[in-house]
Amino acid sequence: QELTAKIAIIERNKTNVIELKNTLQQLQNAIISINSRIDQAKERSSELEDCFSEIRQADKNNLFPWRVD
């Protein structure tokens, strides 16, 4: 009886460990996905900053004659 109960406990623990491992893997995958999206957003932000910088420079050089102050 006691041995059977201990085996059952070990089996439950094993199942819990496997479930925890799977949950941790899902969490890791989610973090990787979020980091990838952050990197993409940073890249896009940098591209927009470059674009705005070019527009400001063109404005300083009066390349927008139709602009009204």
The pLDDT value given to residue 32:
98
The pLDDT value given to residue 58:
84
3-class DSSP assignment, residue 67: coil
The pLDDT value given to residue 67:
61
- Is the model's pTM score more than 0.75? no
For 4-46, the pLDDT digits (tens) are 999 999 999 999 999 999 999 999 999 999 999 999 999 999 9
Dihedral angle of Cα 49, 51, 55, 57, to the nearest 10 degrees: 70
